[in-house]
Chain A
Amino acid sequence: MSFPWAQHYAPKHPVTQWLDERLPLPRLVYNAVGAGYPVPRNLNYFWNFGVLAGAALGIQIITGIILAMHYAANGAIAFDSVESIMRDVNSGWLLRYAHANGASFFFIVVYLHIFRGLYYGSYKAPREMVWLLGVVIFLLMMATAFMGYVLPWGQMSFWGAQVITGFFSAIPVVGDPIRIWLLGGFAPDNAALNRFFSLHYLLPFVIAGVIILHIWSLHIPGSNNPTGVDVKGPQDTVPFHPYYTAKDGFGLGVFLIAFSTLLFFAPNLLGHPDNYIPANPLSTPAHIVPEWYFLPFYAILKAFTFNFLWIPAKLWGVMAMFGSILLLFFLPWIDSSPVRSTNYRPLYRWFFWMLVADVLALGYLGQAEPSTFVVFASQVCAAYYFAHFLIILPIVSRIERPLPLPNSITESVLHGEKAEAAPFGTQTA
């Protein structure tokens, strides 16, 4: 596919030859994740997270399908059916905790995957389509996780659904009818619970489909690498198998260790206690917060408190929250610097880390008890978020003078500058 020196699939056994002539599935696998896919030799551990995201999706689908065999999507018994999974179903507690914490780990690895792409400029030409499909996956993941969180029908499930579907009522005129249509009623109830369950079952398979497109489009130009320099010849690459299968295998082990530690020893750490209280439409929790992975966006939503230009604050908040994700679609055209890797972008590097700090701060503010200071800090951080992508980045990418790039991946590896391949390399010249 990508490079002329890619190894060719040559089945030796008559059975595999027979199969290859009729349904070349092994050939497809060989070219996609086997020896037939040449990959830059200098990828660091940040390139493990794509495969880890795939593994997390696999864990979610397998545990989810078994959970669905025992779960009842009915407002009267949903909560108890989940508790029955925890108590009566063989290893049900394991399935449920794996699925709940698996969602968190899915987001952890995808956030690292996204920031890897941001740091190494993987969104730039010729990989724009990889990035665009990635953002589509991210949006689908958010929808899936939101609907999944509603299913146990605890207090946070119910009130989270109430708040999130309430966004639609911010739309002028048609907002409320849309919200009622989406929910199938005036408030989340059986109708909403059932359609959420149906979609929650469907979307992971849609995600799986988009991942296939994501990887297909990646394999046209091939993977980026920590220097951001294009592959120039065979000496720059190694075959995916066995080199990166071995490395990804090790990464998967580390991932599973971290995942199991949380799953077996602190399975409720990332959850909210209120979700162990059955949903009660008559009792609003003191403090409604979404799952941790939505907190930065929730902070942006709440930061808008001023009716500006005749647009009500709530609508600004909703637009900004969606805008903060949708702007990622335009990133390849906002950042006009031809240099990919931030290792060679001395000015942008500062702003990259500022953005990381800003998103972490927004995450903290998203769950903090609202006070004048918290609202003020969210406003500053939200403003910085938009300033980063929509103002700073277009300017920086024009005025910055990048550091000299290595002539090739191999040169960068062989002249011993390990730092160049190291994550967030520290070299200066």
Chain B
Amino acid sequence: MLRLFGPLIAPIVGLGFIAALVLAILTTSWEAEPPTAAHHFHLAPKPLHLASDGPLGKFDRQQLQRGFQVYKEVCSACHSARLVAFRDLQEIGFTNPEVKAIAKNWATEVPSVNPETGEPATRKALASDYIPSPYANETAARAANNNALPPDLSLITKARHGGAAYVHSLLTGYQNPPAELLEKFPDAKPSGTLHYNPYFANLNIAMPPPLAADGQVTYADGTKATIDQMAQDVSAFLVWTAEPKLENRHRTGIAVLIFLLIATTLAYMSYQNIWADRKH
């Protein structure tokens, strides 16, 4: 039986699969696929350089604090960051009292229970709370955003191709649809509640331009709050929310590599030494 496999069974089975494929090829219709607007007008993110890039990258804490300020004053009106607790903000340089104050003054309160009646209630956030969503639930979020859902931002720089560069480009990419687009793809014209943004996958995003004017926030450290600056800062902040252990990872990595390089060199020398008397 096995001896028949090579000369007989294998070729028959193989020819079956190959025939199915050849027929599929022969019946392929080579009509050009209709081009889509996204194919022509979608742009890859602009390069963005952050202090956390590269194997030795560290966070620029000043920038993260500015980015947090943008998140707090602008984005948090629509986006949660549910994996980040207020107390975590100490890692980017806020003091314990500052964190407590940030939590207490947060625009949305966190859900709780009225201790007397047991009815659902809300209370001021504590340092140990996670950054709450501005909406009670998904339905409320959609109702407030023309049926679009603002995603949680905690992991956004890891959940999109291009990461922080994508967020930066998206925030600074709002523009009027090019005349060529309207001419070639009249259907691609953003409808009433959508906004043209060539960095967004389908070109039309439901988020209104969140950073609309220079000086929208006032930075305590005197940095000029241009739209681009704010976009960079909040992108850097969102790198931290997605990967708070990044610095630790880089530091550990360097130490591990140094150790491994030494160990591997020694292993190589011992290998050469042991084999020295053997031709191979």
Contact = CB atoms under 8 A, between A and B. Distances in A.
Interface string A336-351: 1000000000000000
A210 interface: no
B160 to A, nearest CB: 6
Contact of A253 (B151, B267, B279): B267
A380 interface: yes
Contacts of B20: 304, 306, 308-309, 311, 313, 316, 320
Interface stretch (B4-12, B68-76, B171-179, B228-236): B4-12
A242 B274 contact: yes
A374 B155 CA distance: 32
B9 to A, nearest CB: 8
B180 interface: no
A250 B7 contact: no
Contact of B6 (A268, A303, A333): A333
Nearest to B265: A253
Contacts of B7: 394
A246 B257 contact: no
A13 B2 CA distance: 51
B19 A333 contact: no
Contact of B22 (A87, A93, A372, A383): A383
B267 A389 contact: no
B24 to A, nearest CB: 4
A371 interface: yes
A interface: dominant SS: helix
B interface: dominant SS: helix
Interface in A237-275: 238, 242-243, 246-247, 249-250, 252-254, 256-257, 260-261, 263-265, 267-268, 273-274
Interface in B220-257: 242, 244-245, 248-250, 252-254, 256-257
B33 A323 contact: no
Interface in B16-35: 16-25, 27-30, 33
B96 interface: no
A130 interface: no
A313 B252 contact: no
Interface string A312-341: 010010011001000100100111100000
Contact of B83 (A87, A242, A375): A87
B184 interface: no
Nearest to B263: A253
B177 to A, nearest CB: 21
Interface in B24-61: 24-25, 27-30, 33, 55
Interface string B171-202: 00000000000000000000000000000010
B39 to A, nearest CB: 10
A276 B155 contact: yes
B115 interface: no
Interface residues of B, number: 59
A256 B147 CA distance: 49
A247 B11 contact: no
Interface string A372-391: 10011001101100110111
B3 to A, nearest CB: 7
A305 interface: yes
Given A257-B257, A334-B6, A390-B11, A243 B28 contact: no
Given A263-B253, A305-B24, A379-B25, A371 B274 contact: no
A352 B55 CA distance: 38
B270 A371 contact: no
Interface string A389-412: 111001001000000000000000
Contact of B17 (A260, A372, A386): A386
Interface in A31-88: 41-42, 80, 83, 86-87
A277 to B, nearest CB: 5
Contacts of B11: 390-391, 394
Contacts of B21: 303-304, 306, 379-380, 382-383, 386
Given A246-B270, A257-B260, A276 B159 contact: yes
B156 to A, nearest CB: 8
B250 A265 contact: yes
Contacts of B242: 276
B5 to A, nearest CB: 5
A379 B24 contact: yes
A219 to B, nearest CB: 21
A191 interface: no
A87 B248 CA distance: 12
A359 interface: no
B97 interface: no
Nearest to A154: B159
Interface in B67-98: 83
A94 interface: yes
Nearest to B54: A265
Nearest to B275: A243
Contact of A394 (B6, B30, B253): B6
B245 A93 contact: yes
B101 interface: no
A402 B20 CA distance: 34
Best-surrounded residue of B13, B24, B252, B278 (most CB of chain A within 10 A): B24
Contacts of A265: 55, 250, 253
A320 B257 contact: no
B279 A413 contact: yes
A382 B20 CA distance: 11
A1 B16 CA distance: 44
A383 B17 contact: yes
A141 interface: no
Which 8 pairs across A and B sit closest by C-beta, in order of nearness? A264-B253, A390-B14, A253-B264, A306-B24, A276-B159, A308-B20, A383-B21, A250-B267
Interface of B: 2-3, 5-7, 10-11, 13-25, 27-30, 33, 55, 83, 151, 154-155, 158-161, 201, 242, 244-245, 248-250, 252-254, 256-257, 260-261, 263-264, 267-268, 270-271, 274-275, 278-280
12 contacts: A87-B245, A238-B278, A260-B257, A277-B151, A306-B20, A308-B20, A333-B2, A333-B5, A383-B18, A383-B22, A390-B15, A394-B6
